[in-house]
Amino acid sequence: MLARFKTLSVNQFTFIIALYFVCIFNIPLFGVIKNGIEKQPDVDPIFIATMPLFLTFALSFVFSLFTIKYLLKPLFIILTLVSSGVFFAAYEYNVVFDYGMIENTFQTNPAEAFMYVNFASIMNMLLTGILPAYLIYKVDIQYKPFLKELLHKVLFMLVMLAGLGVIAFFYFQDYASFGRNHDELKRYVVPTYFIGAASKYINVRYLQTPMQYEHLGMDAKNVSANPNGKPNLLVLVVGETARSMNHQYYGYDKPTNAHTQDQGLTVFKDTSSCGTATAVSLPCMFSRMGREDYDARRAYAQDTAVDVLDHAGIKVQWFDNDSGCKGVCDQVENIIINLKSDPKLCSGEYCFDQVLLNKLDEALANAERKDTVIVLHIIGSHGPTYFLRYPPEHRKFTPDCQRSDIQNCSAIELMNTYDNTILYTDYIISEVVKKLQYQQDKFDSAMLYLSDHGESLGEKGMYLHGAPYRIAPVEQTSIPMLAWISKDFSQDNHLDMACLAQHAAKGGFSHDNLFDSLLGLMNIKTAVYQPELDIFAGCRG
């Protein structure tokens, strides 16, 4: 668009760049508006027609505040490049860059980020980001003397305000009503919403004075007293991007839990996540706070459930094959898997979760005769490269989607690929259970598995995860939670398994239960323990 002009005035540039952002980067916004219109009868077509004009006037006014010599080109080149990426995520996957997604993005490692690079994303960046950025770099912006330039800028901004005022005069009630009924619209406005979210994250994470660190459960004591003298051993498997509706245990019609079917797992129905992205869910599920009162800044400044276990003298080990523990395990023994550590299981960019089974073998071989909790943070069903989450011998459902631009796969291919990840995770869980069964002469053992969040696979046009929780679909918030408890563990810890099975079938669980369930399962007595949130408390004799 800018290539048509050899020279532009500042105001011409401002209006053209605003028009480009409206016509290209805000296409997903107009898609959401279209969906809203279809659900609302008797919408004035002229009111709808004013929306792109309103947004163009508004962005022109806002952009005018930053069209300053020496700032203009570098700012809008960067803004165009970043907006191109945000646009692609929203257009192809319906991903919204709110505070939670910004937090998740900042905490994404290079290997994880590379999974999103494919032909479609590269072409999008070339066409909607790099090419316009190059034109911005090349265009000759004509600046008038300071006072004259300032006068022209003020007049331009007044004209934009006048345009907004005229539209508001005739359609203020329509905008107010439509906005109230479709609050999610603001989240799709590029670039204002993601800039606001990023600014908030940077302010909270890096600019605010750090909160004073709060230790929790310093009074914690391990009160377990097994009559046979065997210590308790719990392996907690933290899943990644697994949604419950693709598990056979939750009514799915494909055998995605074939490996654990005969191992007697307890299935906790109707379990929901704390967030829709790992950066939110992981610290939230291990914090003392529940989802409703969760505050990320406060969570980073206080002890987690694993810290309280450590205070009680429990040996805690964290092995990570995902993107790190997000601060949860910083104060206990933790190891992030080296992506080049095993040539059979690792490519240098990712490792299959079987690499954690090897770590578990090492931990069990060197285990002390004391109560122990081992956390395995798996990569599970992390997308969009689902096909890289399982080895070829575990490719049971075909045809599958052997590409990262999943929106270009058929629904059957995409679902098969995702189901293969669920089945492979089920295999990992079954192997954990087998290894614990081999340790029953040394430990009273148990396994607990739950995912951090779910995943959208094209339902309602949405892919991946990270949607704002208020508008997140059930596919992103409904998660599996499974438990295996050995006979000796249940007997020595006075846990009624029949009672637990009935309780689990009732449903109504969430990440809010994890903190106290871990403490209760490991017999930790502390003032921060809340038995009403412990999913095992009601079945303990």
Position 440 pLDDT exceeds 50 = yes
Q: If you classify domain 221-539 with CATH, what class do you get?
A: alpha beta
Which residue intervals of the chain bear CATH 3.40.720.10? 221-539
240-247 mean pLDDT: 98
pLDDT tier, 103 (very low <50, low <70, confident <90, very high otherwise): confident
Position 229 pLDDT exceeds 90 = no
pLDDT tier, 2 (very low <50, low <70, confident <90, very high otherwise): very low
pLDDT tier, 1 (very low <50, low <70, confident <90, very high otherwise): very low
Task: Out of 124-133, 167-176, 244-253, 531-540, pick the least confident.
Answer: 167-176
Task: Note the pLDDT tens digit of each residue in 385-439.
Answer: 999 999 999 999 999 999 989 988 999 999 999 999 999 999 999 999 999 999 9
Query: Phi and psi of 302, rounded to 5°?
Result: -150, 160
Amino acid identity at 358 = N
Q: Cα 264 vs. chain centroid, distance in angstroms?
A: 30
Task: Note the pLDDT tens digit of each residue in 280-305.
Answer: 999 999 999 999 999 999 999 999 99
Q: 């122990």: which residue's tokens?
A: 372
59-67 mean pLDDT: 97
Task: Read off the pTM.
Answer: 0.84
pLDDT at 136: 96
Task: Note the pLDDT tens digit of each residue in 450-459.
Answer: 999 999 999 9
pLDDT at 96: 87
Q: 């930053």: which residue's tokens?
A: 66
pLDDT at 524: 97
Question: Greater confidence, 187 or 414?
Answer: 414
3-state helix, strand, coil in the chain (%, to 5): 50, 10, 35
Contacts of residue 49, Cβ cutoff 8 Å, sequence gap at least 6:
none
CB-CB contact of 413 with 400 (8 Å): yes
**How crowded is residue 77: how many other Cβ atoms within 10 Å of its Cβ?**
18
Closest Cα to residue 341, out of 316, 358, 324? 358
Average pLDDT over the chain, rounded to an integer: 93
CB-CB contact of 277 with 323 (8 Å): no
Query: Phi and psi of 267, rounded to 5°?
Result: -110, 120
pLDDT tier, 108 (very low <50, low <70, confident <90, very high otherwise): confident
Q: Cα 421 vs. chain centroid, distance in angstroms?
A: 17
Question: Greater confidence, 530 or 462?
Answer: 530
pLDDT at 3: 46
